[in-house]
Amino acid sequence: MHADGGPTSVPARTVVMPSEAVVNVGSLHESLSQTRDWDAAVEALAMSTRRVVVSDLLAKDLPARERLALFEAVVLGIIEAARPVAIHWKPAGKLVDPAALLKASGSNSVDALPQAAINVRMFRIARSDDDLLMDTLGLASLGLPDMQVLFHGMEPSRVAAHLYAVALYTLRNGALVDEGETIEGPTRGTEWTARRGKALVEPARPVFDFDPGPDYSVHAA
């Protein structure tokens, strides 16, 4: 408490915990399978001999961008001091190249650093040759909704780029849509309708479930 009886503000903190434990590469199989922007991730993990756990505390009430910026500042300091061979960005379910992250810190692009914290995943639907599920992972850990779309008939790379753009906007500005509202789709003249729902693939978290319209929706097939 302050002297005037008001509540004391406790600053957010980042905890760094070195460990002698050997990295269990097998436990990272799922994250490796969903890491699509670092071809050398497997080779880098094979060179690792120990790990350092980095986590933030008392930060959940901070705005998402501020919370991420504080956390990434500590991670960048660790990269410069310890030269890790790989980063497992657990909330995003992906492996990150430390050298690429350090390089991004000197970029003029405001979008360079957040890329580490947002992942777009792809899953094939059982007993279907064409149906795909794509979702984002990383926003929920910052107190924002992730998103998912179940579709067919669209180029996956375009859907991935679109989901990432929406996720990045959400990180920078807050949720782009609300229940029943629409956003422009990745294909000219299309709209995606947002519904609040639950993630179809773990981890469990609230998401915006987008309906891509009758031409592309699996439900409408």
pTM: 0.87
Tokens 């399978």 belong to: 33
Same domain, 104 and 151: no
Digit-coded pLDDT (tens) for 145-161 = 999 999 999 999 999 99
Alpha-carbon distances, residue 83 vs 16, 75, 78, 98, 115 (angstroms): 15, 11, 7, 8, 20
pLDDT in 10s for each residue of the chain, 221 residues: 445 555 556 688 889 998 877 777 778 999 999 999 899 999 998 888 888 999 998 888 899 989 998 999 999 999 999 999 999 999 999 999 999 998 888 766 656 677 889 999 999 988 888 899 999 999 999 999 999 999 999 999 999 999 999 999 999 888 888 899 999 999 888 999 999 999 999 999 999 999 999 999 986 44
Do 107 and 24 reside in the same domain of the chain? yes
Instruction: Please give the backbone phi and psi of residue 78, each rounded to the nearest 5 degrees, phi first.
Output: -65, -40
Is residue 219 situated within a structural domain?
A: no
Same domain, 130 and 164: yes
Query: Of the candidates 61, 91, 114, which is a domain's last residue?
Result: 114
Same domain, residue pair 22 and 108: yes
- Residue 1 inside a domain? The answer is no
Q: Which of 114, 130, 147 is the last residue of a domain?
A: 114
**Could you tell me if residue 2 is inside a domain?**
no
Residues 174 and 107 in one domain: no
Last residue of a domain, one of 114, 130, 146: 114
Give the containing element (helix H, strand E) for 15.
strand 13-19
Q: Do 118 and 138 touch, CB atoms closer than 8 A? A: yes
At residue 92, what are phi and psi to the nearest 5 degrees?
Answer: -100, -5
Partners of 120 in beta bridges: 136
Residues 102 and 26 in one domain: yes
In a domain, 6, yes or no: no
Question: Are 99 and 18 part of one and the same domain?
Answer: yes
Structure tokens at 16: 């760094």
Q: 109 is in which domain, residue-wise?
A: 13-114
